[in-house]
Amino acid sequence: MPMASIRFADAGDTPVILRFIRALAVYEKLEQACVATEDSLQSTLFGPKPYAEVLLIEEDGQAHGFALFFHNYSTFLAKPGIYLEDLFVDPARRGKGYGKALLAKLAQIAVARGCGRLEWSVLDWNQPSIDFYLSLGAQPMDAWTIYRVDGEALTALSKA
């Protein structure tokens, strides 16, 4: 890998984080679902109660990728875990080891924090990412289906 470095993002990195999120939304064909703004990221990532953390991978002072993650918890393991919400590397920088370096750093953080696992989701059609994750030893959780409640359904459930 080139001489890249990984660091935790700070509030001044909000514009670059938003750029990566929007680029990921385009890649995943979910542009219409991306409503994040600098203000919303600023308050949820760097406000009084941060809900997630961000790693940036940089070379020559320029960020080329990010990993956004947060802690979850395994009741069966009785240990925290790390959930990787987003991993993105600029298309021009793919194949240079940046994605693997970000995942390795997340694994180091997970081990250092006493986590029992590192996990994430991937879209079924995203074969390049699936192949990459399998090459790292990740295993698909085929017996599990993700469920989500959002929008009007979330509001209705909150009133049930």
How far apart are the C-alpha atoms of 1 and 145, rounded to whole Å?
35
CB 102 within 8 A of CB 65: yes
For residue 117, the Cα-to-chain-centroid distance in whole angstroms is: 15
CB 53 within 8 A of CB 8: yes
The single-letter code of the amino acid at 104 is A
Active site residue 73: no
Q: Please tell me which residue in 83, 98, 133, 147 is annotated as part of the active site.
A: 133
Bridge partners of 62, per DSSP, are 59
How far apart are the C-alpha atoms of 121 and 140, rounded to whole Å?
9
The residues annotated as belonging to the active site are 133
